[in-house]
Amino acid sequence: MSAGPGTPTRHAAGAGSIVAAVEERLTGFFETRRTLVEPLGPVFVDAARALEDFVIRGGKRTRPSFAWTGWLGAGRSPEDPEADAVLTACSALELVQACALVHDDIIDSSRTRRGFPTVHVDFEERHRNLRWAGDSGHYGTSVAILIGDLALAWADDMTRDAGLPADAAARFAPVWAAMRTEVLGGQLLDIHGESAGDETVAAALRINRYKTAAYTIERPLHMGAALAGADPQLIAAYREFGTDIGIAFQLRDDLLGVFGDPAITGKPSGDDLREGKRTVLIAEALQRADIIDPDAATLIRTSLGTDITPARVSELRAVLTELGAVDAVEQRITRLTEQALTALDASTTTPDAKRRLRSMALAATARAY
């Protein structure tokens, strides 16, 4: 279990140990939930354990890392008496991420996540193997929805119980609230975009802004700055940097969703095409195809959201590349990254934080397919 509020630990000392520090706090938080969960019986214990396994076994702890670095960059130190409480509050972002991923996998009908069955598939298989009454798929989806809800509720519990000083908690609360609303709103925009068929680049970028960028980088940095009591100028610089890098990060993820190696992504090749995602990549391709290659436009539109074969995935990859959509997205990633780094360089964050944030930004947007 993690140390109590205001008690620095060996894992709170620097950026190199941030992943271990976050996982230590998450493990400690789950331990505190056991006495709350056990009276509800083995069914709920199993569900809570599934959430814990999902949270602990995966992820690069990107969101807590940005929040923690934002706090440090506002002139605070790992030796600060508030450091442990701040790091615990930052770590709660992983529970928000868990909620988003569990629900996103249901919405997208994804079967795997990080090389494991998705939560709804896991419970679907448990139902089927035990030969319980009713529809296995409906059972798995129902349980996973509740597990995602539990993750979001526990994220709030973790921040409330972190031991933040009252003034820091008051600055933190509105940023946390805005982030939760934005990520849910972004998910709704995504669902609507797929159903309504909005194929514009602007619509895809709006989804990226709220579904991913806000809660991945922009708001975590904002949270760190708010916890530190940073001035409005630094907060504005963080948010500008975070928005641009967050969108670039999602654009990179969109490319990986079509061209990525399943061994790296943990998802089947071309899954975004099967799920019918209206990404910037697809919007750029359709914008071009409607003008210069109507047959390619028809191929893309009739393939999206269908159970396409590996051969069709390869064909679509070639079409997206030939249309120049891949290059257009790569150029947008480069432009956003350069804008973000310019904002970072001009900010008043500490030199060490600038170095860390630059490195994190480049890692988040690097080509990996």
CA distance 221 to 14: 17
Q: Which two tokens stand for residue 38?
A: 């056990």
- Check residue 261 and give its pLDDT: 82
Q: What is the pLDDT of residues 201-240, one digit of tens each?
A: 999 999 999 999 999 999 999 999 999 999 999 999 999 9
> Which of these ranges, 145-149, 157-161, 197-201, 246-250, has the smallest mean pLDDT?
197-201
Q: What is the pLDDT of residues 77-101, one digit of tens each?
A: 999 999 999 999 999 999 999 999 9
Q: Are 67 and 90 in contact (CB under 8 A)?
A: yes
- Torsion, Cα 72 180 88 6, to 10 degrees, reads 70
**pLDDT band at residue 7 using 50, 70 and 90 as cut-offs:** very low
Q: Which two tokens stand for residue 353?
A: 């934080």
- Check residue 242 and give its pLDDT: 98
**Residue 113 bridge partners (DSSP):** 116
- Check residue 256 and give its pLDDT: 92
pLDDT beyond 70 at 10: no
Q: Considering the chain, what is the average pLDDT of its residues?
A: 93
Q: What is the mean pLDDT of residues 46-62?
A: 93
Nearest to 236 by CA among 246, 226, 227, 228: 226
In the chain the domains, ranked by start, together with CATH numbers, are 1-164 (1.10.600.10), 165-369 (1.10.600.10)
pLDDT beyond 90 at 75: yes
pLDDT beyond 60 at 2: no
- Check residue 16 and give its pLDDT: 52
Q: What is the mean pLDDT of residues 96-113?
A: 94
pLDDT beyond 70 at 9: no
**pLDDT band at residue 260 using 50, 70 and 90 as cut-offs:** confident
Q: What single-letter DSSP state applies at residue 15?
A: G
- Check residue 166 and give its pLDDT: 98
**pLDDT band at residue 14 using 50, 70 and 90 as cut-offs:** low
> CA 303 → CA 46, 114, 259, 284, 289, distances in Å?
39, 25, 16, 16, 14
> Which of these ranges, 128-142, 252-266, 310-324, 326-340, has the smallest mean pLDDT?
252-266
Residue type, 179: M
- Check residue 147 and give its pLDDT: 98
Q: What is the mean pLDDT of residues 304-323?
A: 95
- Check residue 8 and give its pLDDT: 35
**pLDDT band at residue 369 using 50, 70 and 90 as cut-offs:** low
- Check residue 193 and give its pLDDT: 86
